[in-house]
Amino acid sequence: MEKISVVVVDDHPIFQQGLVDSLSLEEDIEVVGRAANGNEALVMIKEISPIIALLDVNLPGINGQQVARQIILDKIPTRVILVTAYDDLEQILHAMRAGASAYCSKDINPQKLADVIREVALGNYVIGDKVLSQTELDQWLDTYIDGVQRSYSDPGEPFYPLSSREMEVLLYVTQGMSNKEIAVLLGISHQTVKNHVTSILRKLGVEDRTQAAVYALRRGWVRLDPEKIEFEENNDG
């Protein structure tokens, strides 16, 4: 019997080991590699082309959704299952549009996860308790995508509601930098940075810089050392 080859990617050693140990109990599943960040995962996936990549959404470097997107762009046959601590509809929509085949909460039962892996290996898609075909997934996306009020500026980056420049500004906002500091770093005017910040708050539906930073961190868009994060809600300097 040919086993389902799986790469496990998570930057928390205990959780990563738990996944490996759990999957090792399944006779038809074989863990063939593990990684702790998105960049390392992408290199490994390109090299060994596993059937399944089991990825945490919130990874250092490029996040799980970005890895999923790159796998699609590079036409790698590996199918992606994303796992996350933040299980909400908007995140699921981002993940499935990015190219994931399944989206699971981190509190998923180990046997259920093994079943998800098997379904995805067969070519199906899994969202919660739903097992979908490609046609059914497309219908599901069409049903729910209109319910997401935020606009998506970059068609090539479906998991971000922001443009590339806005994402760049948001990264530095999350690092606690002032508008003036961001302007100097990016070589743009102070007013342009303020305009970007205003646009970011509007698109994310949040009220201030702190909420925008938390929004990005919770969704794995940026991954930072918490000791370096300083939020200043009214930091327009």
With cut-offs at 50, 70 and 90, classify the pLDDT of residue 220.
low
Q: What is the mean pLDDT of residues 100-116?
A: 93
Mean pLDDT (the chain, rounded): 84
Amino acid symbol at 135? T
> How is the chain split into domains, by residue range?
4-145, 164-228
- pTM for this predicted structure: 0.68
- The dihedrals phi and psi of 116, each to the nearest 5 degrees, come to -60, -45
Class of domain 164-228: mainly alpha
Q: Which residue has the higher pLDDT, 116 or 219?
A: 116
pLDDT of 93 higher than 70: yes
pLDDT at 227: 47
Q: For domain 4-145, give the CATH number.
A: 3.40.50.2300
With cut-offs at 50, 70 and 90, classify the pLDDT of residue 87.
low
pLDDT at 228: 46
pLDDT in tens, 63-79: 888 899 899 889 999 99
Q: Which residue has the higher pLDDT, 82 or 229?
A: 82
pLDDT in tens, 133-188: 999 998 888 787 665 544 443 433 445 567 778 888 998 898 889 999 999 999 99
